[in-house]
Chain A
Amino acid sequence: MYALHMEWTKLRTVATTGWWLLGLVACTVGLAAFVSSTVDAVNCAPRCDFDLPRLSLSGVYIGQIAAVALGALAVTTEYDTAMVRTTLAAYPRRGAVLAAKLAVVTVVVLGCAALGVLGSLAVARGILPGNGFTRANGYPPLSLGDRATLRAYLGTVLYLGLIAILSAGVGATLRNTAATVSMVLGMLYVLPIVIPFLPTGAWRDALYRYSPMSAGLTVQATRGLNALPIGPWPGLGVLAGYAGAAVLAGALLFRLRDA
């Protein structure tokens, strides 16, 4: 409990934390608004089977950068300032320190992710009907009452939490902010950029399944699930696997290494 309080104070009193959290919410909602305003239910031939919940959640493509930064900073800032030595002198139980760090940053990111995702829902509900996504055209308004939609929204909140955990785990391993952020962004973005250029086939599907972002964001899919290389929850499970492995490596090194 003491460790949690300690970590919460540290996170709360750093000026940049607030900006990153604000950035997470604002970027998620902002991109959702942009994407919602560019799609069109009328001039969409030949493919008009829009996955609207997923479209309305595309803000996560930017918002997750803030989650990466928050996760990394929660661990690495202490190394930049050598504060970690003070922390460990005051509270030598290293496992508890790392667990408290993870818990605090995850809860904070989950909270802001929920705000961002609900904001996305609100702007999408406001904008989409104006672009022809009406009940008459076969698009009932987005609603969390729909099971698949609820899965997409809840899954996206969890996705952002897992991204912060992954980043914090890598941060505990690398102990350097810039290296952590570059590495996690590389892990997340490179494969999803490359995959569309690859010929369709077994390799492409395998890369999709092993890419933390492609697999993880499958949880947003509400249509055409059979055509996807992995299911929604198993996909999020892949990301959880990466996050777990990163935390395990970080925790092990945190215990073994001198601070």
Chain B
Amino acid sequence: MSYQSTVSSRGDGFGAQLRAEWTKFWSVRSTKVCTGLGVLLTIGLSVLASNAGGTDANNQPPFTDRFSLVYQPLPGDGSITARLASQANSHEWAKAGVIVKADTSSGSTYAALVATPAHGLRMEAEFTRTVASLPGAAPTWLRLTRTGGTVAGYTSPDGTTWHRVGGVTLAGLPATVQVGLMVASPSVVETVKAAGGSDTRGRATIGRAVFDSVTVQSGGLAPWRQVDIGDASGGSLSRAGGAFTVTGSGDISGYGIASWVTPGNDDTVSNSLVGLQFGLIAMVALGIVFAAAEYKTGIVRTTFAASPRRGRVLAAKAVVLGATAFVAGLLASVAAYLAAQPGLHSNGYNPPAYPHRAITEPTVLRAVVGAALVLGVLAVFGLAISTLLRRSVRSLALVLGLMLVPQIVGAAVLSLGTDLWLHRLTPVAGLAITQTRQRFDTAISPWGGFGVLAGYAAVALVAAILAVRRRDA
């Protein structure tokens, strides 16, 4: 005869376990206070930071017009044709091609058809318009035709069959324009960071291109001349037979053109979510208190007596805690993001340098939801460490130390290289999910960073589950 318990096993299901943990979570004052404070402080700090200073990016010139031009006048209608034989890869956005420009002063209107080493062929005009972009690179034939106020671009693989790339009407084009060849190569922006500060500076690169078969129709009588437009440097022209070797630096671009580097590189999205720094302390504390409270009060023995499958108890705890922290975190991050925008706008974070970014934009959504995910995972990380160490102070010192110290030390005293590794290897990496802009201090991709944090939490949780199964409570 075997003994069969008459007690229904229904109460031991995972659903019931979740409900038990939720009841414990929500009936304790400290967990509620912790969650509420975390949400409020997150929003508060984001609002404070959004009001803490402005940007002058929109007071900077909205375009750059500095490059090496080889030109001659074109009276009335006509065209410039050239074969771009080769282009040096001095910069991914180096430009070499043909151009129609109102005059040789910096800032005068233009249309250009250029090749780039890494971004294909592009027809651009007026510092604001990308007329066309298509695959291709040197060697290629390029042609611009001017008809009244309109400039049309053509390419050809062989100089006989031509393909129209696009056309653009330029406002205020004079009767006689300058046509010719252009070469540009932007500066490489380097940020050097040493203990206590960072400096950003541009290092000029010199582009080099070889053209041949250069013809100007209904013109072509004047000699070719080379000039550095704007404050560009390093421009030169040397001719051998029919070949034109042109060098030059700089760029011709502005808002609306892909090679444009906007002045100011603040990440307004991650700055709006800076309140997360308070939120993370609250959520780590929440996870730690939630676990440590059971050990402190001895209720953990009751819990384990009621449901002896300890691993499952901890799993249920983690699910309840993670979900609650995520929901609270989402509330906090959405509110923080929305509440920070007015402050940023009134401090000069406006288009064109800083387009206003709606919360529904995919990368913004990733940052905002990601911030909540980080908070959920951190709460579980805290729970796991707290279960392992069974004392709240040690756990707080360890987890908060891991989350806070690298951020301080990295910024304050370390070189950029060491700082970046610290942001890849410690749980701090998780905060990368709020970044929406590639910057010199970008250490890791958004999801990659989140993965690092999630990895820490997962390892800690597995270790904690193994520990509670082996240890006396």
**Which A residues fall within an 8 A CB radius of B?**
16, 31, 35, 38-40, 44-48, 50-51, 54-55, 58, 61-62, 65-66, 68-69, 72-73, 80, 176-179, 181-182, 185-186, 189-190, 192-194, 196-201, 203-204, 207
Inter-chain CA distance A68–B281, complex, in Å, is 15
- Pick from B194, B271, B289, B413: contact of A178, CB under 8 Å: B289
Write out the residue numbers on chain A whose beta carbons fall within 8 Å of the beta carbon of B414: 35, 38
List CB contacts (< 8 Å) of B212-266 with chain A: 266
B288 nearest CB neighbor, chain A only: A178
Inter-chain CA distance A84–B30, complex, in Å, is 21
Inter-chain CA distance A50–B196, complex, in Å, is 8
- Cβ–Cβ contact A201 & B54, under 8 A: yes
Interface residues of A, dominant DSSP: helix
- Cβ–Cβ contact B288 & A185, under 8 A: no
A47 nearest CB neighbor, chain B only: B194
- Cβ–Cβ contact A194 & B274, under 8 A: yes
- Cβ–Cβ contact B393 & A194, under 8 A: no
Inter-chain CA distance A207–B55, complex, in Å, is 18
B409 nearest CB neighbor, chain A only: A61
- Cβ–Cβ contact B401 & A62, under 8 A: yes
- Cβ–Cβ contact A178 & B392, under 8 A: yes
Write out the residue numbers on chain A whose beta carbons fall within 8 Å of the beta carbon of B147: none
- Cβ–Cβ contact B396 & A178, under 8 A: yes
- Cβ–Cβ contact A61 & B195, under 8 A: no
- Cβ–Cβ contact A61 & B52, under 8 A: no
Write out the residue numbers on chain B whose beta carbons fall within 8 Å of the beta carbon of A50: 194-196
Inter-chain CA distance A45–B289, complex, in Å, is 46
- Pick from B194, B347, B396, B411: contact of A44, CB under 8 Å: B194
- Cβ–Cβ contact A197 & B400, under 8 A: no
- Cβ–Cβ contact A181 & B277, under 8 A: no
Shortest distance between the CB of B141 and any CB in chain A (Å)? 45
- Cβ–Cβ contact B192 & A45, under 8 A: yes
- Cβ–Cβ contact A192 & B408, under 8 A: yes
The answer to the question of B199 belonging to the interface, with a C-beta cut-off of 8 Å to chain A, is yes
- Pick from B196, B408, B418: contact of A193, CB under 8 Å: B408
- Cβ–Cβ contact A207 & B396, under 8 A: no
- Pick from A181, A196, A197: contact of B396, CB under 8 Å: A181
Nearest 3 interchain pairs by C-beta:
A199-B53, A203-B52, A182-B285
Known: A39-B415, A181-B396, A199-B54. A48 touches B292 (CB 8 A): no
Write out the residue numbers on chain B whose beta carbons fall within 8 Å of the beta carbon of A176: 30
Write out the residue numbers on chain A whose beta carbons fall within 8 Å of the beta carbon of B404: 185, 189, 193
- Cβ–Cβ contact B397 & A65, under 8 A: yes
B392 nearest CB neighbor, chain A only: A178
Write out the residue numbers on chain A whose beta carbons fall within 8 Å of the beta carbon of B469: none
Shortest distance between the CB of B371 and any CB in chain A (Å)? 15
- Pick from B278, B393, B397, B412: contact of A58, CB under 8 Å: B412
- 9 A-B contacts (beta carbon < 8 Å): A35-B414, A39-B195, A58-B409, A189-B400, A192-B408, A193-B407, A196-B411, A197-B49, A199-B54
Shortest distance between the CB of A69 and any CB in chain B (Å)? 5
Query: Chain B, 189-220, contact with A by CB distance < 8 Å: what is the 0/1 string?
Result: 00010111101010000000000000000000
A223 nearest CB neighbor, chain B only: B196
- Best-buried of A16, A66, A176, A198 by chain B (most CB within 10 Å): A198
Write out the residue numbers on chain B whose beta carbons fall within 8 Å of the beta carbon of A72: 393
- Pick from A47, A51, A186, A196: contact of B199, CB under 8 Å: A47
**Which B residues fall within an 8 A CB radius of A?**
30, 34, 41, 45, 49, 51-55, 192, 194-197, 199, 201, 266, 271, 274, 277-278, 281-282, 284-285, 288-289, 292, 296, 347, 391-393, 396-397, 400-401, 404-405, 407-409, 411-415, 418
Inter-chain CA distance A189–B401, complex, in Å, is 10
Inter-chain CA distance A40–B285, complex, in Å, is 38
- Cβ–Cβ contact B393 & A197, under 8 A: no
Q: List 16 extra interface pairs beyond A65-B400, A177-B393, CB under 8 A.
A: A16-B393, A31-B409, A39-B195, A44-B195, A46-B201, A54-B413, A182-B396, A189-B404, A189-B405, A190-B278, A193-B277, A193-B407, A194-B49, A197-B49, A198-B53, A199-B55
- Cβ–Cβ contact A66 & B397, under 8 A: yes
Inter-chain CA distance A38–B415, complex, in Å, is 7
- Pick from A46, A189, A204: contact of B53, CB under 8 Å: A204
Write out the residue numbers on chain B whose beta carbons fall within 8 Å of the beta carbon of A39: 194-195, 413, 415
- Cβ–Cβ contact A65 & B30, under 8 A: no
Write out the residue numbers on chain A whose beta carbons fall within 8 Å of the beta carbon of B401: 62, 65
- Best-buried of A50, A61, A66, A182 by chain B (most CB within 10 Å): A182
Shortest distance between the CB of A34 and any CB in chain B (Å)? 9
- Cβ–Cβ contact B415 & A40, under 8 A: yes
- Cβ–Cβ contact A61 & B197, under 8 A: no
- Cβ–Cβ contact A204 & B52, under 8 A: yes
Known: A35-B414, A179-B30. A197 touches B408 (CB 8 A): no
- Best-buried of B34, B53, B391, B414 by chain A (most CB within 10 Å): B53
Known: A178-B393, A193-B404. A198 touches B52 (CB 8 A): yes
- Pick from A51, A54, A190, A201: contact of B45, CB under 8 Å: A190
Write out the residue numbers on chain A whose beta carbons fall within 8 Å of the beta carbon of B49: 194, 197-198
- Pick from B192, B393, B411: contact of A69, CB under 8 Å: B393
- Cβ–Cβ contact A47 & B196, under 8 A: yes
Shortest distance between the CB of A99 and any CB in chain B (Å)? 23
- Cβ–Cβ contact A55 & B413, under 8 A: yes
Write out the residue numbers on chain A whose beta carbons fall within 8 Å of the beta carbon of B405: 61-62, 65, 189
- Best-buried of B54, B196, B282 by chain A (most CB within 10 Å): B196
Shortest distance between the CB of B22 and any CB in chain A (Å)? 21
Write out the residue numbers on chain B whose beta carbons fall within 8 Å of the beta carbon of A194: 45, 49, 274, 277
- Cβ–Cβ contact B413 & A185, under 8 A: no
Shortest distance between the CB of A3 and any CB in chain B (Å)? 24
